[in-house]
Structure 1
Amino acid sequence: MSLSFNSTVDLRSRCMGVSVVPGRLVPSNGSTGAAFATLDQLHVRGSPTLPTFLSADVCTAKIGVGAYVNKQLVVVPTTSPRAASVAPGLVMSKEQNSVPIMVVDLRKLFDLAILFLFEIFLVANAETVELRVSTSGGNESSPILYGFMFEDINHSGDGGIHSQLLRNNGFQGESTDLTAYNSVGNVTLGVDLRNPLSAEIPRSLKISVPEGASGEVGFSNEGYWGIPVNSETYTSAFFIKGSYTGRATLSLRRRANNTLYASQDVNIQSNADKFTYYETRFKPEQAPDGDNLWALTFNGCKLAGREIYVSLIQLYPRTFPPRKNGLKPSLADPIANMNGSFLRFPGGNNLEGIHPYSRWKWNETIGPLESRPGREGTWSYANTDALGLLEYLCWCEDMNLIPLLTVWDGLSLGQGPGDIITGDALKPYVEDVLNEIEFIRGEVSTTYGALRAKLGHPKSFKLLHVEIGNEDHLWGGGPSYPERLMMFYNAIHEIYPDINLIASTGEYLPARLPDGLWITFHTYSSPSELVSWFNKFDNVDRAHPWSVSEFACSKNDEGAQIPEPNVQCSVAEAVFMIGIERNSDVVKMEAYAPLLRNRGGTQWTPDLIEFNHNPNGVVLSTSYYVHQLFSLYRGHTILEVLSNRPFGPVYWVASKSDSSYIVKFANYSPDRHEIKVTFDDKRIDCTCSLHLISGPPEASNVYGSTKVTPNKSVISPNGENGTFRLDAPSWGVGVLVVNFR
């Protein structure tokens, strides 16, 4: 904020502790302010996050607090806080991007404290934010508020959290090339369709060995832009067909110089009639990075002049937890450490497919890997579906997460004839969803419950949340969504009335909403847009809960996509999340998306966690730490907070758990602010904790440079019982955890 004049005006005077000299003013505290105005009008530019101002009458010291109501400045004198009036001559206007401007007509208000108005604005900006937290009453907060949204994008599944490390291992999807493969020795490699492993895996790797071959021959696979080689036990497996008796060698090698980290011999006795399965375990030496290859080689003399076929090669490290075909610990561990409550799967756009035939089909993602055909995923690469429905459910089981199942509802993304299915043609797909739910929830006496038990999980899963479709307002799906929604809603609700059914959009809904229907809101926004969504849920109909199951600050305020989360974006997300938590009686779930990104194969940025296959290759973003703090520290009841300031640029929410009060705050501004928090509770412990995240607005955590992490400190009440004084750093997010006895 600044003042100056475009006409010469003698401003020599002194009043109420402010020195005024030509062209500038000097407040009594020694700070200096400059100004910009005209002789007829004084324009005082405020912050878009600070719509409340102070006014003063020069020399009479009549000071009041003002706020804009219906574009007029309402001034409440401090001497009579209930007597509000519209200050004459003060008009509120707004520029684009909602920056408030107070226009003071000097001809009407020549005796107004123009300079003091500016000084008091400075004081207002630095004023302590006082929060008095009510320790009784309040609204119930959703116990499952924070969770995860997962779909296979950015190679987050295959090549990501799924532990199998070899790429293109079953030649699935639409590609028939040799991506990730290279020959070892004098051999020719090809993709073969005449020797299928199964009806679902019709392609195999053909290895043609010329006459006179000798030495080591075979092939290598580079994995998903590298293979992590750690000093731990690995399991490797493959199917082989062709007449061969002798030794085969599995090895892990450095790509650049062929350094050997592991070598394991397997005795092979295969034949030309069928594929034979082989599996072995070994423990390699630690590799310095992920620039490694897996290789399978044979004795060239024994294969000279012949062919041999290999299919569905596999390499598994230690899994999270020890579970066959499980999750990769390097990614599962930081996700588990976020203390989430739910997992939304399998998408996302990857659920829908480009066409109905390429949608995610639950029954093709279960059973032995050789019975899973895979598919060309929506994000332009093959999905093996080794991370299938049962693996998702076990993921929920292992991390104590509630499953939020999204089901295909007739919308694919191709926008061509047949890509939206409605009416009677949709009935088989409704039945398919009922079968899927029975597979998850059914007793072993049911058809699909028995199938689940046959696959090794006789105990049913607890499924209470099903989302019907994904973002059905897009891809031309909006007009038909009310009909499609109700077909699925009625069928599911009739059999499973306890399941919470969720509409995938709030934009196209039936004229009369079914009782208890949940509604989804997704947003990928700029920082300013996210901050503007702070109060989105303040006045929504409480009869219909909301799920914010995808959101992120994905671009800057100029509209450019950002490569990774930065501090400003993460603080904006915190503001939005504070608004959600304040309304968590009706907003039941929220999740950042996308969750994971393999830096070797990226389709979308930013992402919560990015990774490569180096030992230190997992990067936890600034947004990861904000979401982790909000999820780790949460209460069961949202408490009323009285404040001397409106929201902005500091935002807050308070809650209560069984053993602590929790105050979350975000400072979306370049200025630090002091916060005074008071609890009317004499049971406060003398030692509590304060968790802070802050940094320059453009700061990001990237590979090789983690600039922003949470800082935890022990804090005690200041002075009077139950009062804490906190520093809200610029571009900062904080969580105060106050324990009580």
Structure 2
Amino acid sequence: MKRILNHILGIGAGAALFYGCNTAASDDKRAESDPVTFQVNYGEPIAPIQPTMYGIFFEDINFAADGGIYAEMVKNRSFEFDLPMIGWLQPNSDRFSMNEKSGFASVIKTDSDEPNANFLRVEVKADNGYVLRNEGFKGMGVKKDLQYNFSMMARNQSGDIKMHIQLADSTGKVLGKTTIDPDASEWKEYTSSFTATSEEMKAVLNIQFEGKGVIDLDMISLFPSDTWKNRPKGMRADLVQLLDDLDPGFLRFPGGCIVEGRNLARRYQWKKTVGSIEDRTTLVNRWNTEFAHRPAPDYYQSFGLGFFEYFQLAEDMGAEPLPILSCGIACQFNTGELVPMDELGPYVQDALDLIEFANGDSNTAWGKVRADMGHPQPFNMKYIGVGNEQWGPQYIERYKAFEAAIKSKYPDMIIVSGSGPFPDGEMFDYGMKELKKLGAEIIDEHYYRSPEWFLENADRYDSYDRNGPKVFAGEYAAQTVAIASPDNKNSWMTALSEAAFMTGLERNAEVVHLTSYAPLMAHSEGWQWTPDLIWFNNLSSYGTPNYYVQKLFSTNRGTHVLSLTENGKPVTGEKKLYATAAKDENTGEVIFKIVNASSDEQNTQFKLNGIDGLASKGRLTVLKSDKTDVVNSFESPVAIAPEEQEIALKGNELTVNLAPYSLSVIRVKTVVQ
């Protein structure tokens, strides 16, 4: 959301811009002080900025997939959870008290090895008496006048039964309803739609049975009709829109630690997430019991959002798909279980088959699976990641096996390796040393540190070898308290410190090719980890100050980084200022990103060399607050949000008075003869 700046105080001969405090005293103070002067060399770009420079890292943590971006409203729709009635209630039937006059339901576990082996058998004893209820994911968000699409698989064993499908609020008021008459004696899909009459944050789905008899049910499902691109059984549109608005250069998926699993049996296996939805294997989410402060025993993965949907989402957003696969090591913070090297073959084959799934012709085995899902054309995947944040000799040994196999068959595939969970220390040093020896192409680095660390490390990549491996800053977020603390906040100070650090990422575009914040999303009642880029509940969502920092960098990335110096040195925190400059060859603009991390206004001047002048108008966007602990919220979703103003210019110098605690982005067209 954009709010217009309400003043521009002056334009001098060198195109002066002013914003922030506008008292006469501050004007006098500005006039008396000399600006900090930056030299910008437009004519000799340092390096191209990769289209992948700013992207998205998606992990199913904080109910980001089921209960989040995947718009399914029914929890445990196929009764495959370890406790198969999680999410389901029988409000007027209690088998333990022998109150079964209305009826009861039992989960039937077949002996089949099929992914969806369980189903629900309902015995209805009293006409219009038995009710089956689903509580949804912390309730079900219902919008007035929106159509909802219900579906289920059913098999009528005996009797004559009708099913009245209802959305209801906490008082029992019906918000929308439809009726289904499941009469087939063999499994059959039934569908129906209805329109909601009211809005409700925490509705439930009631299935009221009319008649008597026995019926089997499976894949009970409810979706809103307003999914992303109106795809049936698709994604929640408001959340995808927030992602699309970031203009991401890549989408990394599916994690994160869920790639590894607490043990190898519970690792993410992409082949179990493609094909028909009813044939995908449900898995307990590895964040289910990870944190004692936020247990989530009902947190499972239905894989309705699977690898095909991830690829499709990347394509929708014009982003490069970047899947990460298990390297045969379970999470080393949990069991650290290792697959023996002589049994690593299936893991390596999964990587080769994934490349075929993404890029193969429809006459290949896995290319045909993709084509049968509705995408005959390849996804043109260029990157693949081996492991998440493993460390030690065991990782290097397994990485070598993956690299040899992938490069042998797909020599142009770019492989992303990992340097472990921390940005320094013994694990990091060993991983970097060994991966450099191997000539690794891109190394993933992770940083969860304090705002002070981010401010102090804006020059981190200034000294990296320009001829060595490229960097993927794959997970970063400033922590107000400590890593994984439930008390972390998405404060303006965290966002501002990340912006300062990001100027260093962009300035070193020769080395840094990909960057992404993490984690991406969190349900307001279902989170396990803070801070997070986007927060949502069952009806609404908002971007944090950190989100707007990411958006300003990503939507103003430019094509080539320029030299921007003060007294011949990069601007990396001296006087608490951080800055980077880029040119955009597509628009003919120069783009400045400037962070003032101090509590004082600061007057700065940018002198552009290699141009004849600037256009008469430009655009200024500022993100600021004089309170560093302020956060966005559902009540105040844009407490901190970009403010934008068109500005008038002339000459080839910019004098900019920077507001305290601010990120400013300036775009100006250049005149070059």
Show the counterpart of 2:448.
524
Q: Does 1:439 align with 2:380?
A: no
Show the counterpart of 2:7.
none
Whether the 8 Å CA contact 2:262–2:335 is kept in 1: the answer is no
Q: Does 1:592 align with 2:517?
A: yes
C-alpha distance in 2 between matches for 1:327 and 1:182: 29
Question: What amino acid sits opposite 1:677 in the alignment?
Answer: F
Show the counterpart of 2:137.
224
Show the counterpart of 2:623.
693
Show the counterpart of 1:679.
608
The one of the two structures with greater contact order (alpha-carbon pairs below 8 A, sep at least 6) is 2
C-alpha distance in 2 between matches for 1:491 and 1:449: 19
Larger C-alpha radius of gyration, 1 or 2?
1
Q: Does 1:712 align with 2:644?
A: yes
Whether the 8 Å CA contact 2:104–2:130 is kept in 1: the answer is no
Q: Does 1:337 align with 2:237?
A: no
Question: What amino acid sits opposite 1:494 in the alignment?
Answer: S
Structure-2 change in CA distance of 1:221 and 1:639 (3 Å)? same
Question: What amino acid sits opposite 2:151 in the alignment?
Answer: A
Q: 1:498 aligns with which of 393, 408, 412?
A: 412
C-alpha distance in 1 between matches for 2:655 and 2:515: 30
C-alpha distance in 2 between matches for 1:699 and 1:416: 35
Show the counterpart of 1:298.
209
Deviation at 1:529, TM superposition (A): 0.9
Q: Does 1:310 align with 2:217?
A: yes
Q: Does 1:624 align with 2:547?
A: yes
Q: 1:545 aligns with which of 470, 473, 477?
A: 470
Whether the 8 Å CA contact 2:60–2:258 is kept in 1: the answer is yes
Deviation at 1:682, TM superposition (A): 3.5
Show the counterpart of 1:34.
none
Structure-2 change in CA distance of 1:655 and 1:191 (3 Å)? farther
Deviation at 1:647, TM superposition (A): 3.2
Deviation at 1:360, TM superposition (A): 0.7
1:462-611 alignment to 2 at 5 Å? Answer: 462-473=380-391, 478-505=392-419, 506-507=428-429, 508=431, 510=434, 513-515=437-439, 517-543=441-467, 544-556=469-481, 562-611=487-536
Q: Does 1:451 align with 2:369?
A: yes
Structure-2 change in CA distance of 1:729 and 1:175 (3 Å)? farther
Deviation at 1:184, TM superposition (A): 5.7
C-alpha distance in 1 between matches for 2:123 and 2:247: 51
Show the counterpart of 1:325.
233
Whether the 8 Å CA contact 1:182–1:219 is kept in 2: the answer is yes
Deviation at 1:157, TM superposition (A): 0.3
Question: What amino acid sits opposite 1:251 in the alignment?
Answer: Q
- Partner SS for 2:68: helix
Structure-2 change in CA distance of 1:126 and 1:612 (3 Å)? farther
Deviations 1:634-690 (A, max 9, x none): 111111123258532010000000221100011112222122223343452212111
C-alpha distance in 1 between matches for 2:323 and 2:483: 35
Q: 1:661 aligns with which of 590, 596, 607?
A: 590
Instruction: Give ranges in structure 1 of 5+ residues lacking alignment.
Output: 1-28, 32-121
Whether the 8 Å CA contact 2:175–2:197 is kept in 1: the answer is yes
Whether the 8 Å CA contact 2:448–2:477 is kept in 1: the answer is yes
Structure-2 change in CA distance of 1:194 and 1:549 (3 Å)? closer
Question: What amino acid sits opposite 1:700 in the alignment?
Answer: V
Question: What amino acid sits opposite 2:658 in the alignment?
Answer: A
C-alpha distance in 1 between matches for 2:505 and 2:159: 63
- Partner SS for 1:480: helix
Whether the 8 Å CA contact 1:197–1:275 is kept in 2: the answer is no
Whether the 8 Å CA contact 1:567–1:700 is kept in 2: the answer is yes
Q: Does 1:168 align with 2:81?
A: no
Which is worse superposed, 309-318 or 149-158?
A: 309-318
Whether the 8 Å CA contact 2:151–2:191 is kept in 1: the answer is yes
Deviations 1:602-658 (A, max 9, x none): 1101100011013xx312101001101111111111111232585320100000002
Deviations 1:88-130 (A, max 9, x none): xxxxxxxxxxxxxxxxxxxxxxxxxxxxxxxxxx99x975222
C-alpha distance in 2 between matches for 1:558 and 1:516: 28
Whether the 8 Å CA contact 2:262–2:334 is kept in 1: the answer is no
Structure-2 change in CA distance of 1:558 and 1:624 (3 Å)? closer
Q: 2:174 aligns with which of 253, 260, 270?
A: 260
Show the counterpart of 1:725.
655
- Partner SS for 1:215: coil
- Partner SS for 1:625: helix
- Partner SS for 2:357: helix
Identity rate of aligned residues, in percent? Answer: 26
C-alpha distance in 2 between matches for 1:734 and 1:627: 13
Deviation at 1:165, TM superposition (A): 1.3
C-alpha distance in 1 between matches for 2:482 and 2:253: 30
Which is worse superposed, 528-537 or 155-164?
A: 528-537
Whether the 8 Å CA contact 1:244–1:270 is kept in 2: the answer is no
- Partner SS for 2:348: helix
C-alpha distance in 2 between matches for 1:702 and 1:568: 16
Show the counterpart of 1:638.
561
Instruction: Give ranges in structure 2 of 5+ residues lacking alignment.
Output: 1-23, 94-100, 289-298, 420-427
Whether the 8 Å CA contact 1:128–1:676 is kept in 2: the answer is yes
Structure-2 change in CA distance of 1:347 and 1:416 (3 Å)? closer
**What is the TM-score when the length of structure 2 is the normalising length?**
0.85
C-alpha distance in 2 between matches for 1:552 and 1:490: 33
Q: Alpha carbon RMSD of aligned pairs, Å?
A: 2.6
Q: Does 1:349 align with 2:257?
A: yes
C-alpha distance in 2 between matches for 1:342 and 1:495: 24
Whether the 8 Å CA contact 2:481–2:488 is kept in 1: the answer is no
Structure-2 change in CA distance of 1:579 and 1:564 (3 Å)? same
Deviation at 1:248, TM superposition (A): 2.0
C-alpha distance in 1 between matches for 2:229 and 2:162: 33
C-alpha distance in 2 between matches for 1:447 and 1:200: 20
Deviation at 1:334, TM superposition (A): 1.0
1:106-121 alignment to 2 at 5 Å? Answer: none
C-alpha distance in 2 between matches for 1:559 and 1:393: 29
Deviation at 1:482, TM superposition (A): 1.2
Deviations 1:409-451 (A, max 9, x none): 0110277888112421112211122112211111122121122
- Partner SS for 1:552: strand
Which is worse superposed, 598-607 or 557-566?
A: 557-566
Q: 2:187 aligns with which of 254, 275, 291?
A: 275
Structure-2 change in CA distance of 1:358 and 1:240 (3 Å)? same
Structure-2 change in CA distance of 1:408 and 1:194 (3 Å)? closer
Structure-2 change in CA distance of 1:331 and 1:480 (3 Å)? same
Deviation at 1:270, TM superposition (A): 3.2
Whether the 8 Å CA contact 1:650–1:665 is kept in 2: the answer is yes
C-alpha distance in 2 between matches for 1:30 and 1:320: 52
Show the counterpart of 1:421.
339
Deviations 1:184-233 (A, max 9, x none): 676455441246898212222333333xx232532121211121212222
- Partner SS for 2:405: helix
Show the counterpart of 2:37.
130
Whether the 8 Å CA contact 1:201–1:373 is kept in 2: the answer is yes
Structure-2 change in CA distance of 1:643 and 1:159 (3 Å)? same
Deviation at 1:398, TM superposition (A): 1.1
Structure-2 change in CA distance of 1:324 and 1:643 (3 Å)? same
- Partner SS for 2:255: coil
C-alpha distance in 2 between matches for 1:672 and 1:490: 55
Structure-2 change in CA distance of 1:187 and 1:585 (3 Å)? farther
Deviations 1:136-173 (A, max 9, x none): 11121112101100111011000000111111212334
Deviation at 1:542, TM superposition (A): 2.1
Show the counterpart of 1:44.
none
- Partner SS for 1:315: strand
C-alpha distance in 2 between matches for 1:261 and 1:564: 36
C-alpha distance in 2 between matches for 1:433 and 1:372: 19
